[in-house]
Amino acid sequence: MQLDLKEIRELLAALDQTDISELMLKSGDFELTVRKNSHSVEVHPPESGPAEVRLSAPPAPVVSPEPSPAIAAQPSAGPPASDKKLVDVMSPMVGTFYRAPAPDEPPFVEVGDRITTGSTVCIIEAMKLMNEIDAEVSGTVVEILGKNGAPVEYGQVLMRIKVD
């Protein structure tokens, strides 16, 4: 059994959606061990196969950028800048970004749409599973950064919402 790096990433993304804390996969001389809380992956291919692969890096922290002081200091006709907080909708997994539930249907949201907490804003396909991504805040969609049908990484900003 051979797994390439893409398949390992997809497996990790799928496991991230479960409560499984450890997975051990053995097939002949091939061995794969994944431990969720130790931030490590070990792959031991057979002696005749490719060299051993070890990935042991903790995940990078995902930080949402705050508006810069220069932008916040500009006067505006609307409410104070503190009320214009933007919230990033980030990809919770590696997969393919889709704006609509099907190719012939309208997108879940467009720039300028008002959404509520729990509204589905997009889909991320990972390992042939369609994962609906819901808004965690109510507000107005101000920017859609994900491109329909394009691959996305874990933590990638998909869209921005101005919180009400």
Cβ-proximal residues to 118 (8 Å cutoff; 6+ apart), any chain: 134, 135
Phi and psi for 48 in degrees, rounded to 5?
A: -80, -10
- Do 97 and 150 fall into the same domain? yes
What local confidence, expressed as pLDDT, does residue 64 receive? 45
Residue 66 belongs to some domain of the structure: no
CB atoms within 10 A of CB 156: 18
β-bridge mates for residue 33, sequence order: 24, 42
Q: How do beta strands 95-98 and 114-115 pair?
A: unpaired
pLDDT in tens, the chain (164 residues): 666 777 777 777 777 777 777 777 777 777 777 777 644 444 455 554 444 444 444 444 444 444 444 433 333 333 344 446 899 999 999 999 999 999 999 999 999 999 999 999 999 999 989 999 999 999 999 999 999 999 999 999 999 999 98
What local confidence, expressed as pLDDT, does residue 55 receive? 43
Residue 73 belongs to some domain of the structure: no
What local confidence, expressed as pLDDT, does residue 87 receive? 94
pTM over 0.85: no
Q: Are 121 and 45 in contact (CB under 8 A)?
A: no
Cβ-proximal residues to 162 (8 Å cutoff; 6+ apart), any chain: 84, 85, 86, 87, 139, 140, 142
Cβ-proximal residues to 128 (8 Å cutoff; 6+ apart), any chain: none
What local confidence, expressed as pLDDT, does residue 13 receive? 78
Residue 77 belongs to some domain of the structure: no
What local confidence, expressed as pLDDT, does residue 111 receive? 96
What local confidence, expressed as pLDDT, does residue 7 receive? 78
pLDDT digits (tens, 9 = 90+) for 77-104: 333 444 468 999 999 999 999 999 999 9
Handedness of CA 98, 101, 103, 108 (dihedral sign): negative
What local confidence, expressed as pLDDT, does residue 31 receive? 74
- Do 108 and 50 fall into the same domain? no
- Do 100 and 37 fall into the same domain? no
Got the DSSP string for 30-58? Answer: EEEEEETTTTEEEEE--TTSSPPEEE--P
Q: Is 82 helix (H, G, I), strand (E, B) or coil?
A: helix
Q: What domain count does the chain have?
A: 2
Q: By residue range, what is the domain housing residue 93?
A: 84-163
What local confidence, expressed as pLDDT, does residue 84 receive? 61
Q: Are 147 and 98 in contact (CB under 8 A)?
A: no
What local confidence, expressed as pLDDT, does residue 1 receive? 62
Of 144, 136, 143, 138, the C-alpha closest to 164 is 138
- In 49-164, DSSP assigns E strands to 53-55, 86-90, 95-98, 114-115, 120-126, 129-134, 139-144, 151-152, 157-163
- Do 99 and 159 fall into the same domain? yes
